[in-house]
Amino acid sequence: TNPQKKSAPQSSDPCKGCREIIDNVIERYSQTWKKQEDNYQKFRSQLNSKCRGFNKAIITQANTPVGSKLVYDGEKRRSLQVTPEIFSTFVKEHPFSNKTWGTCAVVGNGGILTNSSCGQTIDSAQFVIRCNLPPLKNGYEKHVGNKTDLVTANPSILVEKYGALMAHRRPFVDSLHTYGNSLLLLPAFSFGHNTPVSLRAAYTIEDFGSPIKPVFFNPEYLQRLAVFWRSQGLRAVRLSTGIIMASLALELCADVHLYGFWPFSTHPHGFHPLTNHYYDDRKTKMKFHAMPAEFDLLLRLHSQGVLRLHLGDCR
């Protein structure tokens, strides 16, 4: 059976039929992994030509001049004309153009990382990408590491945890220390309500002199990526941050390793119950994301030697 076709259980749902799905995954996962250079090059060049993440993923002053029109990828009828004020918040040059990395780790937030001891292995990657401002201190470090070169921030976190940055902003700035001078990637132009809070995040970082570098997803890139994955058979309202970052990594890095990607509520080896995240059990918005279907596609890339999924412990 194919996990994509079954109504696979999400983390912490009663795991009916889990065993069958897991057995199938394990069977596909258990073959010795070997990078298949041809498959990797082919997939990468498809992504390069269709999505152009290496020079389009992030809005810059070079690719988005004053007066250009940004079309929101989550609300197609909404657009925004770039004013000098907004333009001033854009990074000057694209952080990735003409740059490639050897090994990259993309860290999803799945509960599969709990007690994995994968921290050191993750941190040994040249470039480490994390999703949604995840906690790294208080005992998590051993299992998830702390090196961060790029971290995404969903504006909903800024709203829920930091009062949408409408009042005191120091707690937000303090929380960013964990990520050092990494890039902070915000989907400022995906939905209308994302824009003001993302701009406030950028202004706050500048005003407080925080070393983190705020940058914005280019909605055109997100749109192209959604079309690309649809052409690969993915039916989802929105791509998850994890698959977006895995896709970008495939354009930027020779060896892509994924950790914390396991949208099921039972561990694939120990069969013990798992929380949705390694730090809490907050559920995924199933209305928007099709994480089990995304996982199936990522597992396919793993089997083809394009990228490497890590489902086991790193001891």
Active site residue ranges: 289
On the 0-12 / 13-18 / 19+ scale of CB atoms within 10 A, 137 is: exposed
Size of the site for ligand CTP (CB under 6 A): 21
Contact (CB, 8 A) for 44 and 250:
yes
SS3 91: strand
Binding test (CB under 6 A) with ligand CTP, winner from 155, 242, 268, 292 = 242
Q: Shortest distance, CB of residue 234 to ligand CTP, whole angstroms? A: 12
Is 12 a residue that touches ligand CTP (CB under 6 A)? no
Structure tokens at 125: 């990657």
Q: Interface residues for ligand CTP in 110-169 (CB under 6 A)?
A: 110-111, 131-132, 154
Binding test (CB under 6 A) with ligand CTP, winner from 4, 11, 198, 218 = 11
Q: Where are the alpha helices (DSSP H) in the chain?
A: 18-29, 37-51, 53-56, 84-87, 119-123, 141-144, 155-162, 170-175, 194-208, 219-231, 241-252, 291-303
Binding mask 252-291 for ligand CTP (x = CB under 6 A): --------xxxx------------xx------x----x-x
Q: Nearest residue to ligand CTP, using CB?
A: 242
Binding test (CB under 6 A) with ligand CTP, winner from 178, 182, 240, 247 = 240
Nearer to ligand CTP, 61 or 115 (CB): 115
Stretch that binds ligand CTP, among 49-57, 74-82, 85-93, 106-114 (CB under 6 A): 106-114
Q: Shortest distance, CB of residue 177 to ligand CTP, whole angstroms? A: 20
Measured in residues, the chain has a length of 315
Nearer to ligand CTP, 109 or 204 (CB): 109
Q: Shortest distance, CB of residue 291 to ligand CTP, whole angstroms? A: 5
Q: Please tell me what DSSP assigns to residue 217.
A: B
Q: How many CA atoms lie within 13 A of 244 on its CB side?
A: 28
- Rounded-to-integer distance, Cα 276 and Cα 112, Å: 8
Is 187 a residue that touches ligand CTP (CB under 6 A)? no
CA triple 90-93-95, angle to 5 deg:
100
- Rounded-to-integer distance, Cα 107 and Cα 258, Å: 6
Residues forming the site for ligand CTP (CB under 6 A): 11, 108-111, 131-132, 154, 240-243, 260-263, 276-277, 284, 289, 291
